[in-house]
Amino acid sequence: MIDLKFLRENADVVRESQRARGEDPQLVDQLLEADERRRSSIQAADELRSEQKAFGKKIGQAAPEDRPALLEGSNELKARVKEAEAAQDEAEEAVAKLQLRIANVVEGAPAGGEEDFVVIEHVGEIPEFDFEVRDHLDLGEALGIIDMKRGTKVGGARFYYLVGDGAWLQLGMLMLAAQKAREAGFTVVIPPVLVRPDIMAGTGFLDAHDEEIYYLERDDMYLVGTSEVALAGYHSGEIIDLSDGPLLYAGWSSCFRREAGSYGKDTKGILRVHQFDKLEMFVYCAPEDAEEMHRKLLQLERDMLSAVEVPYRIIDVAAGDLGSSAARKFDTEAWVPSQNTYRELTSTSNCTTFQARRLATRYRDASGKTQTAATLNGTLATTRWLVAILENNQRADGSVVVPEALRPWVGKDVLEVQQ
């Protein structure tokens, strides 16, 4: 949610942010006008309430014979106060609705849409194969570790089973991520995967991504597409203690996405599915610490990708592809040999105070004054990583070399084709 004080003092900055995102800058002026009406209505209602209070004292001090006339005037004033309070409520509701329509203010991201990202860095060597490359599903089926046919039979399209070594490969990847998170000071959390509407709305996911979210109408609950949602709600309505530095959490959960509008896109394999597991980092910090924490989250993602031995690149995501909550986002994209391109594996976003303002998460600064916290998130491992791990480590006979860091969990150096 946009800070109204910031908006009043930096309207041009917010207009430019809207333009960079490809969104309507006129919303800024509409909100400023609505805010002015709200402030005027508050003042008018306060003045009438003060007048009503003074009038009440006058009635109490009046002679008995004068009170009937004064009481008639009091009733008229009471009606005016009620009318002014209704106008105030209406004005505040208009402001709240417009606030929810304006995305977070972009901080440093390039302007444009999905294709206007800026490549920051390439890491690792793209493998060269002297044989015909197989995609991850062909490899997974031959190895007996991915079963899409039975997944579709049981759950429908875009569902799957990870079997045997496939399950251990994912568990090992997530355990490695959890260990790295703990070593970096994060508290590992297994959060709810069902959340209430106010928590989902507070993260900003209902603004632009509601079609991607599973909604359970009978229970008025949402299935999360990332544990970021539940972790953002963890301290909602609280004043948290940041005196010893940022609060760091790493949420391990199953995640659910409808993939609405993606029909015919990445239908083969486990690149774009309805259910997956993920370890998500989440940070609460003072706003002045957010940029540094963003760099730290990105470095942790680098370390994890290096550990699973896949080549990748880092991109600075363009403003129009950020999502409403993020002020800036970096994606790490792994090389996928069968597609001869890079595909997103992780992202890390600086959401500044946008989510915490919606969720009323505050902290006390050095002077003891309450301030809105900043929040950040970043993915440290997810099911999609198996695509890059399998394809980049394949051999001519269809076997796959297990990255050394995952071998303690998988229990094998090489996954062999099932005979």
Is the per-residue pLDDT at 53 higher than 80?
no
Percent of the chain with pLDDT over 70: 93
267 annotated to a ligand binding site: no
379 annotated to a ligand binding site: yes
- The beta-strand segments (E) located in 206-327 are 215-216, 221-223, 239-240, 247-256, 275-285, 312-316
Region 38-42: mean pLDDT is: 90
In order of their start, the domains of the chain are 4-101 (1.10.287.40), 118-415 (3.30.930.10)
Phi, psi of 223 (to 5 degrees): -85, 135
55 annotated to a ligand binding site: no
Q: Which long-range contacts (CB under 8 A, 24 or more apart) does 292-300 make?
A: 293/246, 293/350, 293/376, 294/328, 294/330, 294/348, 294/350, 294/376, 296/184, 297/348, 297/376, 297/377, 297/378, 298/330, 298/332, 298/348, 298/378, 300/180, 300/181, 300/184, 300/378, 300/380
Task: Give the pLDDT confidence score for residue 62 in this predicted structure.
Answer: 59
61 annotated to a ligand binding site: no
3-state DSSP call for residue 27? helix
188 annotated to a ligand binding site: no
Better-scored residue on pLDDT, 298 or 50: 298
Region 196-215: mean pLDDT is: 87
Q: What is the pLDDT of residues 243-263, one digit of tens each?
A: 999 999 999 999 999 987 666
Please give the positions annotated as active site: 257, 272, 344, 347, 384
Residue 398 Rama label (left phi>0; alpha psi -120 to 50; beta): left
When mean pLDDT is compared over 18-22, 87-91, 182-186, the highest value belongs to: 182-186
Is the per-residue pLDDT at 57 higher than 90?
no
Q: What is the pLDDT of residues 71-124, one digit of tens each?
A: 565 667 777 778 888 888 899 999 988 988 899 999 999 999 999 999 999 999
Phi, psi of 163 (to 5 degrees): -120, 140
Is the per-residue pLDDT at 126 higher than 60?
yes
Choice among 12-21, 39-48, 103-112, 275-284 with the minimum mean pLDDT: 39-48
Task: Give the pLDDT confidence score for residue 68 in this predicted structure.
Answer: 61
Task: Give the pLDDT confidence score for residue 46 in this predicted structure.
Answer: 83
The pLDDT-based confidence of 47 (bands split at 50, 70, 90) is confident
Model confidence, pTM: 0.90
